[in-house]
Chain A
Amino acid sequence: MPRVSFERIHKTYGAVSILKNLDLSIDHGDFLVLLGPSGCGKTTLLNMLAGLTDVTDGRILIGDRDVTDLDPKDRGLAMVFQSYALYPTKTVRGNLRFGLASARLPAPEMDRRVAWAAKLLQIEPLLDRKPAQLSGGQRQRVAIGRALVKHAEVLLFDEPLSNLDAKLRTEMRLEIKRLHEELNPTVVYVTHDQIEAMTMATRIAVMNGGVIQQFGTPDEIYERPANLFVAGFIGSPAMNLKKARIAKRDGLVTGRFGNGQEIVLTDYGFARAPQDGAEIIVGLRPEYFGPPDAPVNGAAAVFDLPVAHTERTGSDATGYLRFDDGLLSLRVEPGQAARLAGGQKVRVAFPPGKANLFDAATGGRL
């Protein structure tokens, strides 16, 4: 029995269609991340689950209850908002208690739960302060506490970390992950940040244009993107996507790029046997390239390319090589990046079995 399921969800605003025939279901204890660019419908989907937005057509089930037309408070949900949405005139304690008092819980039980959440989130010293006296990270903790005290079946997060600075964001990411492991609630989490998605999710639904592009575990999404959108959206630096043509000879399948370079694709798990001369797009993750100018053994492809420039991003560096009419990015050791001069030709190798192939016409995975 799935914990949360969306069945044939449609959403239109006037003539504009936001979500089209969307189906999705997750199990108890899952951490689902709805990931996508702005305007892809992920927040709309979350608000529909929360009951803050009407569903045009379709059903939403929590457990075996149809909640499509229930009031938000009757759905057994708790939500953490992007702006925290704390009640400004109430103390932290008052914020935590408001939902419980509305549910008419006895006072000792309320106190017990508030104390439990405060301890869990280390906000005990803040209980008698007003939200205006708290820092951003503290407000976020209180907002999470306010959701936790309700012991809801499903926790909803709407881009909760996007107002925090980079350091706090990392801290809170770990914190939310720890809470999920300790308490094991079902979570639906909306974000446009792929690092949050990759680090916290047990399931990711990548959305674009109101359609779920791919639904799977972080590993599946990263290693086997279902289409060009997912391939380009997940990963930083982004996957290299290069046009090529299938060439078959002597039982060997290769992809021939516009500049005449080739990649061996014989061991690729084609869903359907490829046709000779078919136009494809080859996706090569920057981090799978071997180090530049290292000895090459059994590589699927070897390129000799001039260096365009390099970029250092702290613990990593990215090299950009001129390839065909564009650039090919690959991860290199920061120490080596410093030695790569512009214009210098280097030899890089790509290992077998790591390439992703897409149909150039449909964008779907081959």
Chain B
Amino acid sequence: MTDIASAATIGATIDSRPIVRRRKKRITGRSVAVLVFLTICALFFCVPLYVVLTTSLKTMDEIRQGQIFALPQTWTLEAWRFAWFEACSGINCNGLRVGFWNSVLILVPSLMLSVALSIVTGYALALWDVRWAGTFLFLMFMCAFVPFQIIMYPLIAMTRSIGVYGTIWGVAVVHAVLAMPVLVLIFRNYYKDIPQEIMSAAIMDSGSFWRIFGEIILPMSGNILIVVVILQLTSIWNDYLIGVTFGGFNTQPMTVNLANMVTVSTGTASYNVDMAAALLTAIPPLLIYFLVGKFFVAGITAGAIKG
């Protein structure tokens, strides 16, 4: 009552002020439904993660008791150490670290090659007068739907003929080629938003394809580069099939290493080591998401022209 009365007197002097304010409702049917849904989603991911994490910190004796939801009685990092330094993958018993460094060695050239190829192609298709650009884009888009398994054998033959099959470069080239359709589309759509007049000005000022790219366009690409690098980094790190097919014997990535370890180990299955190995393999992409996830979201939502 007093609220309404005082609001009314204020309303008499300042007309623009609303006289009766709507009260905020704290709990509605809708917010309850959303909360329940989100909780179920969170549990869906968190429960298995909890099991993996606790199991990796238990000893095998404890695991054999079969209480998978219980916390470890004695906390130990032994399984993690074993997975990293001693676990066997095939006949190599040097642990996951071999695969880890292979993965890093594969990641760097694959990432650079795929991003470099697609950013320049996207730039050319979006901002330069390329003949048959539309047709080219359409074909490329169609390629995105061709399953990898279908072209696997021809790709093996092709990489062998240029002499990169079974090396890190073989994996990098295949990653770059397979990622191109999607990445080119992403870059091209991003660059389409750059006003034509900026390109016209640059063409009149310089006219050089590479100079305009390096000095004008690339500095405007920060947002989308972060998005693409994160996407590509995760997909290369998590890849199994390309690594196992093209990687050769000594250059197999961490995922292959992990799979060998889990599936072909002799004797009893050491679940704690398997879980630790799985977590070790998953850490790098997780870390990237935690560190630059903020930029990822900003990059997806922001356009080319800011301010």
Which A residues contact B (CB, under 8 angstroms)? 50-52, 71-74, 77-79, 81-90, 98-99, 102, 132, 146, 150
Closest 4 A/B residue pairs (Cβ): A132-B307, A102-B206, A99-B205, A73-B207
Could you say which residues of chain A place their CB within 8 Å of the CB of B15? none
Mark interface residues in B200-229 (1 if CB within 8 Å of A CB, else 0). Answer: 111111111001000110011000000000
Q: Show 22 A/B contacts (Cβ-Cβ < 8 Å), sorted by A.
A: A50-B200, A50-B204, A52-B200, A72-B203, A73-B204, A73-B207, A74-B207, A79-B201, A79-B204, A83-B197, A85-B197, A88-B198, A88-B305, A88-B307, A89-B219, A90-B216, A98-B206, A102-B207, A132-B306, A132-B307, A146-B201, A150-B205
CB-based contact B197/A81 at 8 Å: yes
CA distance A132 to B305 in the complex (A): 10
Which chain A residue has the least Cβ–Cβ distance from B200? A52
Across the interface, do B197 and A82 meet the contact criterion of CB distance under 8 Å? yes
Inter-chain contacts of B216 with A (CB < 8 A) = 87, 89-90, 98
Q: Is the CB of A88 within 8 A of B220?
A: yes
- Which of the listed residues B204, B215, B305 has the most CB atoms from chain A within 10 Å of its own CB? B204
Tell me if B134 is interfacial: C-beta within 8 Å of chain A: no
- CB-CB nearest in chain A for B305: A88
Query: B interface, how many residues as a size bin?
Result: 20 to 34
Bound-state Cα–Cα, A99 to B207, Å: 10
B195 at the interface (CB under 8 A from A): yes
Nearest-CB residue, chain A, relative to B198: A85
Tell me whether B203 and A52 are in contact (CB under 8 A): yes
* Alpha-carbon gap, A281 to B291, bound state (A): 76
Interface centre among B200, B203, B219, B220 (most CB of A within 10 A): B200
Alpha-carbon distance between A85 and B198 when the two chains are bound, in angstroms: 5
State whether B208 touches A85 (Cβ < 8 A). Answer: no
B165-202 with Cβ < 8 A to chain A: 195, 197-198, 200-202
Quick one: CB contact mask for B246-267 with A, threshold 8 Å, 1 for yes?
A: 0000000000000000000000
- Greatest chain A CB density within 10 A among B203, B205, B211, B220 is at B205
Contacts of A78 in B (CB 8 A): 204
Chain A residues near B203: list those with CB within 8 A.
52, 72-73
